[in-house]
Amino acid sequence: DIQMTQSPSSLSASVGDRVTITCQASQDISNYLNWYQQKPGKAPKLLIYDASNLETGVPSRFSGSGSGTDFTFTISSLQPEDIATYYCQQYDNLLSFGGGTKVEIK
Amino acid sequence: QLQLQESGPGLVKPSETLSLTCTVSGGSISSSSYYWGWIRQPPGKGLEWIGSIYYSGSTYYNPSLKSRVTISVDTSKNQFSLKLSSVTAADTAVYYCARLPGYCSGGSCYSRLNWFDPWGQGTLVTVSS
């Protein structure tokens, strides 16, 4: 099984701040890594696929990078509507999610 | 626009079998490019992939749940279903169904376990006597 470790588990930042979340895989997963946003009471929404490809309609302030075992998700300028929990997910070997990062406004 | 809707009992007794159905509308479950999947989320916790199915009936399961999970498909009803046996309180969760869209290359599209999009709204199942 491939384990996905996200950090931090939560963070607090101000509107306009740059926010970075990391996701580490327990083994090399190439670029088979996706990112989701989940707002309270809602289903997750795909933001980024294949580590760095922005899903259609997703604002350009969201971005992703990385390959192998280490990945980064960035919000370039945090907006109030970005308050959510973010999850990474690998698909190199079956499917598994990271533990999530809750993003709050300071 | 493809939509998915989960349905089934909201309350299941311990040791019994949880059964849910996902109805797909706005598209065919028999598309050769897609897998379909179940994901769950215990209250206040993270996401866990349960398993996925192709329209032909081919399945993949999370190894941690494999002994208790059965996923099936009914193409005539455009539905796929989840059965989870011998449930305990630890199986209390919001259960989501979703599509795995595969990928396209060189003018052709291929099925693959890749990402989940779109998702159903989710349904809360509580395990309690």
pLDDT of residue B18: 98
- Kindly state the average pLDDT of the residues A86-100: 98
Coil/strand/helix, residue B109: strand
CA A85 to chain B, closest CA, distance in angstroms equals 9
**Interval B57-110: pLDDT, tens:** 999 999 999 999 999 999 999 999 999 999 999 999 999 999 999 888 888 888
Q: Do B46 and A45 touch (CB under 8 A)?
A: no
Q: Report chain A residues whose CB lies below 8 A from the CB of B42.
A: none
Question: Helix or strand or coil: residue B19?
Answer: strand
Report percent pLDDT > 90 for chain B.
Answer: 89
Tell me whether residues A97 and B46 touch, CB distance under 8 A: yes
Q: Residue A35 and residue A38: Cα distance in Å, rounded?
A: 10
Question: How wide is the angle at C-alpha B68 spanned by C-alphas B65 and B70, nearest 5°?
Answer: 100
Terminal-to-terminal C-alpha distance of chain A = 36
- Which two tokens mark B39? 């994901």
User: Once rounded to an integer, what is the mean pLDDT over residues A34-43?
Assistant: 98
The rounded distance, in Å, linking the Cα atoms of B127 and B108 is 44
Q: Taking residues A41-52, what's their average pLDDT?
A: 98
pLDDT in the model for residue B45: 98
Taking the C-alpha atoms of residue A47 and residue A55, their distance in angstroms, rounded to an integer, is: 5
Contacts of A10 (CB under 8 A, 6+ apart): A101, A102, A103, A104
Name residue, tokens 């890594």: A33
Q: What is the mean pLDDT of residues A31-60?
A: 98
Choose from B115, B121, B123 for mutation: most chain A CBs within 10 A: B115
What percent of chain B lies above the pLDDT cut of 70?
A: 100
CB A37 within 8 A of CB A86: yes
Instruction: Identify from A3, A88, A95 which residue to disrupt to test chain B contact, counting B C-beta atoms within 10 A and taking the largest count.
Output: A95
Q: What's the pLDDT band for A105 if we cut at 50, 70, 90? A: very high
* pLDDT tens readout for residues A65-87: 999 999 999 999 999 999 999 99
Where does B26-92 show beta strands of DSSP type E? 35-41, 48-54, 59-61, 69-74, 79-84
